[in-house]
């Protein structure tokens, strides 16, 4: 007998591994809510840059505490508003990319945003949440845990292509250096470092298509649902 229960699907991995694109499609196919936790850290980083407080951790923490963050996922696109201001495009800038890991490693900023992420996760329908610490901190008891990864070179090429499609041309080597720096910070920070938990399924996206990545994850989800007697519908 199958029961109706919405799953929590947690996806972690380094920058440029394909988490956002893959998680969005998985959420769409399941009819679940997609939550891009990185967008929340990016939003705080953008505001810190704009307010010229990047060198003041206390002010950044206060900023995070005072912000009302809204994430919406419609027609395959995530939009983010902070205090009713739409920052969807602004958070993808080169400056934000350069500084988001430094902001993300601030312990109290993480505490504030993790609390917000949990509130979103438990209040909604089934969710697909991706980030750096979803399987380790935000939802360590998630029904499905995925660790998405790819080679540094492949991730740099993808990110350069994304920038080019948006009209910004940046040398691949520059992006590679930035990703390497972010990997180092994310994996070695004291609070909620990026790491693979033992029961996570590793998906290397280096040489597979987006459709193949999605299929691998949906197969894992289907297996978990069948084992648990939970009914899911894949569109």
Query: In the prediction, which pLDDT does 2 show?
Result: 44
> Is residue 4 pLDDT above 60, yes or no?
no
Which of helix, strand or coil describes residue 68? coil
The span from the CA of 129 to the CA of 125, in Å, is 12
* Average pLDDT over all residues of the chain: 91
The span from the CA of 119 to the CA of 165, in Å, is 34
* Dihedral sign from CA coordinates of 61, 63, 65, 71: negative
| Phi, then psi, of 114 in degrees rounded to 5 | -60, -40
DSSP label at 38? Answer: H
Give ∠ CA 201-42-14 in degrees, rounded to 5.
25
pLDDT band, very low/low/confident/very high, at 88 (cuts 50, 70, 90): very high
Asked whether 60 and 67 are in contact (CB, 8 A), the reply is no
> Is residue 58 pLDDT above 50, yes or no?
yes
Query: In the prediction, which pLDDT does 124 show?
Result: 64
With CA atoms as reference, report the closest residue to 201 among 146, 129, 139, 141.
146
Asked whether 147 and 201 are in contact (CB, 8 A), the reply is yes
> Is residue 157 pLDDT above 60, yes or no?
yes
The CATH class of 13-217 is alpha beta
Taking residues 218-233, what's their average pLDDT?
92
> Is residue 3 pLDDT above 50, yes or no?
no
Asked whether 234 and 179 are in contact (CB, 8 A), the reply is no
- Measured from the Cβ of residue 76, the count of other Cβ atoms closer than 10 Å reads 11
For the stretch 102-116, pLDDT in tens is: 999 999 999 999 998
The span from the CA of 191 to the CA of 185, in Å, is 11
For the stretch 23-32, pLDDT in tens is: 999 999 998 8
Taking residues 130-156, what's their average pLDDT?
95
For the chain, the domains span 13-217
Query: In the prediction, which pLDDT does 191 show?
Result: 85
The span from the CA of 48 to the CA of 45, in Å, is 5
For the stretch 158-215, pLDDT in tens is: 999 988 998 889 999 999 999 999 999 999 988 889 999 999 999 999 999 999 999 9
The span from the CA of 60 to the CA of 47, in Å, is 9
**Which position has the higher pLDDT, 74 or 161?**
161
Q: What percent of the chain has pLDDT over 70?
A: 97
Query: In the prediction, which pLDDT does 5 show?
Result: 64
């Amino acid at each position: 007998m199958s029961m109706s229960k919405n799953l929590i699907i947690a996806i972690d991995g380094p920058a440029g591994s394909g988490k956002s694109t893959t998680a969005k499609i998985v959420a769409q196919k399941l009819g679940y809510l997609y939550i891009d936790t990185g967008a929340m850290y990016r939003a705080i980083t953008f505001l810190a840059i704009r307010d010229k407080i990047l060198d003041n951790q206390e002010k950044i923490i206060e900023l995070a505490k005072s912000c009302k963050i809204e994430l919406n996922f419609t027609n395959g696109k995530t939009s983010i508003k902070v205090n009713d201001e739409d920052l969807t495009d602004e958070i993808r800038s080169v400056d934000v990319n350069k500084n988001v890991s430094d902001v993300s490693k601030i312990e109290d900023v993480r505490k504030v945003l993790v609390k917000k992420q949990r509130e979103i996760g438990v209040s909604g329908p089934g969710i697909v949440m991706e980030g750096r610490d979803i399987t380790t901190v935000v939802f360590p008891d998630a029904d499905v845990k995925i660790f998405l990864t790819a080679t540094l070179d492949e991730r740099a090429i993808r990110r350069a292509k994304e920038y080019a499609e948006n009209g910004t041309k940046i040398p691949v080597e520059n992006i590679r250096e930035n990703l390497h720096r972010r990997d180092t910070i994310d994996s070695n920070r004291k609070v909620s470092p990026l790491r693979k938990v033992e029961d996570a399924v590793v998906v290397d996206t280096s040489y597979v298509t987006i459709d193949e990545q999605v299929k691998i994850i949906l197969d894992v989800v289907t297996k978990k649902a069948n084992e648990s007697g939970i009914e899911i519908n894949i569109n």
